[in-house]
Structure 1
Amino acid sequence: MTFSICVREAYEDDEGADQLRFGVAVTTRLPAVGTLCPFVSENGAVATQSLVNVELGRKGIAYIDDGLAVEDALQSLLNADEGAEQRQLHGVDADGGFTFSGEECHGWYGHTEGENYTVAGNLLTGESVVENVAETYAESGRDAPLAQRLIDALGAGYAEGGDKREELHVQSAAVKVRSTEEEDDPYYNDLRVDATETPIQDLRETYQLADEGFQAAMERYEQAMDEDDLAADEDEE
Structure 2
Amino acid sequence: MTYSIIARSSDTGEIGIAVASRFFACGAIVPHIGARSAVATQAFVNPLWGTEGLSRLEAGESAQDVLADFVARDGGQHIRQCHTLDSLGRFAAHTGDDCVEWCGHLTGETHSVAGNMLAGPEVVRAAFDAYADASDLPLPDRLLHAMRAGEAAGGDKRGRQAAGLKIHSGEAYAILDLRADDHPDPLAEIGRLLDVSRERYVHVTQAFATSANFSGCTDRGPIDAAISAEEERRKAAGIPSRSQATENKDA
TM-score (ref. length: structure 2): 0.78
Amino acid at match of 2:81: Q
Matched, 1:138 2:132: yes
* 1:62-211 matches, cutoff 5 A: 62-93=55-86, 94-141=88-135, 143-166=136-159, 171-180=161-170, 186=175, 189-211=176-198
SS at match of 1:10: coil
Provide closer, same or farther for how the CA distance between residues 95 and 185 of structure 1 changes in structure 2, counting only shifts above 3 A: closer
Provide closer, same or farther for how the CA distance between residues 149 and 40 of structure 1 changes in structure 2, counting only shifts above 3 A: same
- 1:106-164 CA distance string (max 9 Å, x none): 111111111111111011001110001001101111x4321121111111101111000
Instruction: Compute the displacement of 1:61 (Å).
Output: 0.5
Amino acid at match of 1:172: A
Partner of 1:52: 45
Report the identity percentage: 34
Provide closer, same or farther for how the CA distance between residues 114 and 225 of structure 1 changes in structure 2, counting only shifts above 3 A: closer
Q: Which runs of 5+ in 2 are unaligned?
A: 207-218, 226-251
Instruction: Compute the displacement of 1:225 (Å).
Output: 8.0
Instruction: Compute the displacement of 1:78 (Å).
Output: 2.1
- 1:44-94 CA distance string (max 9 Å, x none): 111111111111011111101111111112221221110001011101122
More displaced stretch, 66-75 vs 197-206: 66-75
Corresponding residue to 1:43 among 14, 36, 57: 36
| Equivalent residues of 1:132, 1:156 under 8 A apart | yes
Q: Tell me the C-alpha RMSD between the 2 structures.
A: 2.3
Instruction: Compute the displacement of 1:30 (Å).
Output: 1.3
Instruction: Compute the displacement of 1:185 (Å).
Output: 6.2
Partner of 1:234: none
Partner of 1:229: none
- 1:162-204 CA distance string (max 9 Å, x none): 00013xx6x110111112279x965xx2111111010110011
Partner of 1:8: 8
Instruction: Compute the displacement of 1:208 (Å).
Output: 0.6
d(CA) in 2 for partners of 1:213, 1:76: 43
Provide closer, same or farther for how the CA distance between residues 81 and 216 of structure 1 changes in structure 2, counting only shifts above 3 A: closer
Partner of 1:25: 18
Provide closer, same or farther for how the CA distance between residues 225 and 205 of structure 1 changes in structure 2, counting only shifts above 3 A: closer
Amino acid at match of 1:134: F
d(CA) in 2 for partners of 1:96, 1:199: 30
Amino acid at match of 2:163: A
SS at match of 1:124: coil
Question: Aligned pairs, how many?
Answer: 212
Instruction: Compute the displacement of 1:23 (Å).
Output: 1.1
SS at match of 2:117: coil
| Equivalent residues of 2:34, 2:171 under 8 A apart | no
Amino acid at match of 2:129: E
Q: Which runs of 4+ in 1 moved over 4 A?
A: 215-218, 223-226
